Amino acid sequence: MRIEKNKIDEHNYLGLKEHQRKFDFIASDLMNTKEILRKLIDFQVAIPSWALGTGGTRFGRFPGGGEPRNLEEKIEDIGLLHTLNKSGAAISLHIPWDIPDNAVHIKALGTQYGLKFDAMNSNTFQDQPGQTHSYKFGSLQNVNPETRRQAIDHNLEVIQYGIDLGSESLTVWLSDGSCFPGQLNFRKAFLHTLEGLEQIYAAIPEKWKMFVEYKAYEPNFYSTTVGDWGQSLLYANKLGKKAFTLVDLGHHLPNANIEQIVSLLLMEGKLGGFHFNDSKYGDDDLTVGSIKPYQLFLIFNELVEGMDARGMDHAKDLGWMIDASHNVKDPLEDILQSVEAIMITYAQALLIDRRMLVEAQSNNDVVSAQEILQHAFRTDTRPLVAEARLNAGGALDPLAVYRNERVREKLIKQRGSKAMATGL
Ligand code: AFD
Ligand code: MN
Ligand code: MN
């Protein structure tokens, strides 16, 4: 379904006066409102094709109905979100969950909704029906060369789908590792994986990037072959200039200093992409900013500082994506909340007084440094984000329009209460 522009205009008209009052208040304090609004408008976050259905755990799944039944409907859903918030102009596909059988048609459909095809994701963490070799004991690390070959070939196929759709990057997340001590020779597992990644890298087109995603644990519980940013960076450095590390916020051990990781990867020119979510215990895949908003802010602080230090374009030079799962919420509402949290936090990071912070740091003025950061963090940037959205043609309050228009109800009517999306 689509939301008509006049519905959004109507909603904006009703909320405009109130919004203007709040916006004028924050803008009166700023020197560079225009520049900030420009950056907020330009910043786009890709939505993964697997985040549109209800997520589950190994204990169960409680779908809410009306989920997209095919790739076309997934594009439709992301298009709908983008109409509302104008911040999600891309879709990231997972193969084989979302094979674009007719790439020309799928690409055209994306264009119709103003969407590009972001990173392609390969899947060697599950066995597919009819698959010759099992990934039970890993894919690229596997002791069996034929299993490794199969995993490499799958990635080559994914690259080809990406070329057809106009994507420009491949994300490789491997669940490879071991569950028990002694199960695996770490060195051999690493070298096999490197060999496989090298063959995949050789097929990466000149303009493309290859992202190596790391994760501390799960589904393997003793060791993971790309377990942390050190291992990912080793691979990326060995592979070459088109290879980068990808940071997923949920893939660290508790209390890891993710902002420091981000800063150093940026310094090395090796941060490629980012998966947003939030977590309390592990890879919880919760709504962005729902548990640790201050950590998210500190990460954005380093992102902005590090990208500016290298003269990078905030919107284009890194791959931004949401990687979350929604067990108890309407997935589309959850994504709207996540994108909103990202924009609010990005805006806060843009407000940090960099000159004052540098000064405080060079004087070892710890108190002032904290004040400067927290002043920005405690600023309510929601009116800035809403103004940017208004200028871009979106809704002042996307969630309110979504609810007023009774989108889920209509989707259930259209697709049925049992419609289930592919994914985990
Ligand atoms: C995993 C990883 C990775 C992968 C996704 C699949 O974060 O990005 O593509 O989930 O659902 O946890
Ligand atoms: Mn991820
Ligand atoms: Mn994850």
CA distance linking residue 229 with residue 216, whole number of Å = 9
Of all helices (H) and strands (E), which one includes residue 42? helix 33-42
Q: Averaged over 380-401, what is the pLDDT?
A: 98
> Which ranges in 211-330 belong to alpha helices (H)?
229-239, 258-267, 293-309
Q: How far is C-alpha 126 from the chain's CA centre?
A: 21
Whole-number Å distance, alpha carbon 50 to ligand 1 midpoint, is: 9
Give residue 244's pLDDT band: very low, low, confident or very high (50, 70, 90). Answer: very high
Using the atom order of ligand 1, give the atom closest to the CA of residue 173. 3
pLDDT surpassing 90 at residue 68:
yes
Tokens representing 209 are 């990037």
Select from 155, 173, 214, 286 the residue to mutate for testing ligand 1; criterion: most ligand atoms less than 8 Å from CB.
173
Please state the pTM of the whole predicted model. Answer: 0.97
Question: Which residue owns the Cα nearest ligand 1 atom 10?
Answer: 323
Q: Averaged over 371-385, what is the pLDDT?
A: 98
pLDDT surpassing 90 at residue 57:
no
Predicted confidence at residue 351, as pLDDT, reads 98
Pairing of strands 90-94, 46-48: parallel
Of all helices (H) and strands (E), which one includes residue 91? strand 90-94
Q: Averaged over 92-116, what is the pLDDT?
A: 96
Question: Which residue owns the Cα nearest ligand 1 atom 1?
Answer: 173
CA distance linking residue 302 with residue 15, whole number of Å = 34
Whole-number mean pLDDT of the chain? 97
CA distances for 32 relative to 83, 116, 117, 352, 353, angstroms: 27, 30, 32, 12, 12
Predicted confidence at residue 247, as pLDDT, reads 98
CA distance linking residue 117 with residue 92, whole number of Å = 6
Whole-number Å distance, alpha carbon 57 to ligand 1 midpoint, is: 14
- Give residue ranges with CB within 6 A of ligand 1: 50, 121, 173, 213, 248, 275, 283, 323, 424
Select from 94, 135, 323 the residue to mutate for testing ligand 1; criterion: most ligand atoms less than 8 Å from CB.
323
CA distances for 69 relative to 47, 94, 129, 417, angstroms: 17, 15, 19, 11
Predicted confidence at residue 96, as pLDDT, reads 95
Give residue 420's pLDDT band: very low, low, confident or very high (50, 70, 90). Answer: confident
Cβ atoms of 179 and 220 closer than 8 Å: yes
pLDDT surpassing 80 at residue 422:
no
pLDDT digit string, tens, across residues 43-55: 999 999 999 999 9
pLDDT digit string, tens, across residues 286-328: 999 999 999 999 999 999 999 999 999 999 999 999 999 999 9
